[in-house]
């Protein structure tokens, strides 16, 4: 692609220009500030951040944190500690965003992060939610296919997205630059950015058609000799993949997940790994390397301090501190406040529109069987919205349920409340599956030892699963029932799902076999209609999925 070639040329020029900077004869102190999984949270998330209670380690407390206004101030104050600094991110800056950003195709988020001085960012899977072409538009600027809707022309990101492992099949080149070399005290430091190799299984497949997502560790290791030929010894990896620790936000006991294996496979030349994707906070040493993650939604800035050796150019010391962006500690940045206000003036009429009422809060936490109150409601809404397509069963992927639905103080639900729950704006697709295909689909909920996606099911459908059985054999044979009647293997069923998983997203590949497809309304429109029709919704009994063992 022309963009990728141009970007590499610019990077090369920047490196050559930097060669004129005299190299320090003393150790150079470098401050790397990092965030991940911002997801367009321009305002502080209602969830804040949950941390260990300082007064009682056996308990946790919620700390109000995050939001662009406070994040910008935190970054500014931390940056002021050291003239040698760089602000980076590990992906998912956009996508699955609150209404204020999503209404404008996430342009407000790109403008916000650009204004606070973000310089480099790995591409996350959510950057592909609307396809590769839209990602390039966010980088380069210009109006979307829906036209220009913001208060000013959109000029694109003033930071550089990096995508070392994402290759355009037609050209063999990366979609975006693989790395950027920055110089501090004349010492070059390389930042490699890449997303997880499983991206095609967790985004709409059409959006990444023609792209290959290569193995993360192999990609980095192949770049090490390329960087060393340019005199680089200090290497920082920004990767949108992560792990799951068992401890508090600034610790790392018992970390597990894909990032552990990836780091163990990395060339020893890699000094620091900034991670994301799992929405967790940790400060780790894995295979002797510093590995960090900053929670989500701008609630944490990871402050990484590196010492660069003037002789070798390598990192001799690397330490980190996960700094909570407490709304009570960091004042609002006026520039961010003005940006948010400009977009709010345009968004308010739609965001504040009353859509209905509910009789009680609808949480999204799953019970041991994998079922949630809000998941039931969404599945029921999608079933009701596709009756004209003959729908008998509706299934909802849990990753598409992004927030709980609390009971508003005045009892009135607004569009912004629903959008916080379902921000992807996917069409509903009703298709025909056999009973055998449906059972096979349910088996695909258990994908790895650490990755499970329990589909939420509509009323009238039920089944049992056995946790003691191996993956691929967990759904109890003969347990699938529709309105109390057993579902035969050769039964023809009309099943509704959203367009994301209909095309194989979240690795639900069986859905690609569905026939007689009929595309319906958008998912959030279905939820709005259901809320309007049921103004006294309260949590129902979680009895559609039964777990054995």
* Per-residue pLDDT of the chain in tens (549 residues, 90 and over written 9): 333 443 443 444 444 434 457 899 999 999 999 999 999 999 999 889 999 999 998 999 999 999 999 999 999 999 999 999 999 999 999 998 888 999 999 999 999 999 999 999 999 999 998 899 999 999 999 999 888 889 999 999 999 999 999 999 999 999 999 999 999 999 999 999 999 999 988 887 888 999 999 999 999 999 999 999 999 999 999 999 999 999 999 999 999 999 999 999 999 999 999 999 999 999 999 999 999 999 999 999 999 999 999 999 999 999 999 999 999 999 999 999 999 999 999 999 888 999 999 999 999 999 999 999 999 999 999 999 999 999 999 999 999 999 999 999 888 999 999 999 999 888 899 999 999 999 999 999 998 877 899 999 999 999 999 999 999 999 999 999 999 999 999 999 999 999 999 989 999 999 999 999 988 889 999 999 999 999 989 999 999 999 999
Let me know the angle formed at the C-alpha of 130 by 125 and 135, rounded to the nearest 5 degrees.
70
Tell me what pLDDT residue 146 has: 80
Which secondary-structure segment (H or E) carries 338? helix 334-351
Measure the CA–CA gap between 102 and 149, rounded to whole angstroms. Answer: 11
DSSP state of 501: H
Find the largest Cα–Cα distance for the chain. 79
Tell me what pLDDT residue 104 has: 93
Rg (the chain; Cα; Å):
24
Tell me what pLDDT residue 20 has: 55
Q: Are 1 and 168 in contact (CB under 8 A)?
A: yes
Q: How many CB atoms lie within 10 A of CB 275?
A: 32
497: exposed, middle or buried (Cβ count in 10 Å: 0-12, 13-18, 19+): buried
Tell me what pLDDT residue 3 has: 39
Sequence ranges of the chain with CATH classification 3.60.21.10: 2-342
The torsion angles phi and psi of 50, rounded to 5 degrees, stand at -100, 125
The CATH number of 353-548 is: 3.90.780.10
The three-class DSSP label of residue 179 is strand
Sequence ranges of the chain with CATH classification 3.90.780.10: 353-548
On the CB side of 541, CA atoms within 13 Å amount to: 5
* CA distances from residue 185 to 14, 23, 229 in whole angstroms, order as listed: 15, 6, 20
What fold, for 2-342?
Answer: Purple Acid Phosphatase; chain A, domain 2 (3.60.21)
Q: Which two tokens stand for residue 188?
A: 């070059």
Q: Strand pairing of 28-35 and 85-89?
A: parallel
Tell me what pLDDT residue 449 has: 77
Nearest Cα residue to 279 out of 96, 433, 60, 542: 96
The three-class DSSP label of residue 81 is coil
Tell me what pLDDT residue 189 has: 98
Q: Which two tokens stand for residue 226?
A: 């390329």
Angle between helix 132-140 and 2-18 (nearest 10): 40
Tell me what pLDDT residue 14 has: 41
């Amino acid at each position: 692609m022309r963009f990728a070639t141009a970007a590499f040329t610019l990077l090369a020029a920047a490196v050559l220009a930097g060669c004129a900077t005299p190299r320090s004869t003393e150790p150079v102190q470098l401050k790397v500030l990092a965030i991940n999984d911002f997801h367009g949270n321009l305002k502080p998330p209602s969830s804040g951040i949950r941390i260990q209670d300082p007064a009682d380690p056996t308990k946790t407390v919620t700390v109000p944190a995050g939001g662009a206004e406070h994040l910008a101030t935190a970054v500014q104050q931390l940056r002021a500690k050291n003239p040698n600094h760089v602000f980076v991110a590990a992906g998912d800056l956009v996508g699955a965003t609150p209404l204020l950003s999503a209404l404008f195709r996430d342009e407000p988020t790109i403008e916000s992060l650009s204004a606070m001085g973000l310089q480099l960012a790995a591409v996350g899977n959510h950057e592909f939610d609307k396809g590769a072409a839209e990602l390039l538009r966010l980088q380069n600027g210009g109006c979307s296919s829906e036209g220009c809707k913001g208060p000013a022309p959109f000029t694109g990101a003033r930071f550089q997205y990096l995508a070392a492992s994402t290759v355009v099949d037609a050209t063999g080149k990366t979609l975006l630059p693989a790395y950027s070399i920055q110089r501090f005290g004349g010492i070059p430091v390389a930042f490699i950015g890449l997303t997880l190799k499983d991206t095609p299984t967790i985004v709409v497949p059409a959006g990444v058609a023609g792209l290959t997502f290569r193995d993360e560790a192999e990609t980095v290791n192949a770049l090490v000799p390329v960087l060393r030929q340019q005199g680089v010894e200090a290497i920082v990896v920004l990767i949108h993949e992560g792990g799951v620790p068992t401890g508090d936000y600034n610790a790392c006991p018992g970390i597990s997940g894909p990032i552990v294996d990836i780091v163990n496979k990395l060339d020893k030349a890699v000094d620091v790994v900034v991670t994301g994707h799992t929405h967790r906070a940790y400060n780790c040493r894995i295979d002797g390397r510093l590995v960090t993650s900053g929670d989500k939604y701008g609630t944490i800035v990871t402050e990484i301090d590196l010492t660069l050796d003037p002789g070798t150019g390598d990192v001799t010391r690397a330490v980190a501190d996960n700094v909570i962006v407490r709304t009570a500690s960091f004042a609002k940045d006026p520039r961010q406040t003005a940006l948010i206000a400009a977009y709010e003036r345009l968004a308010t009429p739609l965001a504040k529109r009353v859509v209905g009422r509910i009789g009680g809060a609808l949480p999204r936490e799953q019970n041991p069987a994998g079922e949630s109150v809000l998941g039931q409601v969404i599945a029921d809404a999608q079933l009701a919205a596709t009756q004209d397509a003959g729908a008998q069963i509706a299934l909802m992927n849990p990753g598409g349920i992004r927030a709980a639905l609390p009971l508003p103080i005045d009892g009135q639900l607004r569009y912004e409340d629903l959008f916080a729950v379902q921000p992807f704006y996917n069409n509903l697709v009703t298709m025909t599956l056999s009973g055998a295909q449906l059972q096979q689909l349910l088996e695909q909920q258990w994908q790895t030892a650490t990755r499970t996606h329990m589909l939420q099911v509509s009323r009238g459908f039920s089944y049992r699963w056995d946790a003691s059985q191996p993956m691929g054999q967990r759904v109890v044979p003969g347990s699938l029932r529709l309105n109390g009647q057993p579902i035969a293997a050769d039964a023809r069923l009309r099943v509704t799902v959203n367009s994301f998983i209909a095309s194989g997203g979240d690795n639900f590949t069986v859905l690609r076999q569905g026939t007689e497809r009929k595309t319906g309304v958008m998912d959030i429109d279905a939820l709005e209609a259901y809320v309007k029709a049921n103004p006294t919704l309260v949590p129902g009994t979680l009895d559609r999925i039964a777990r054995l063992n």
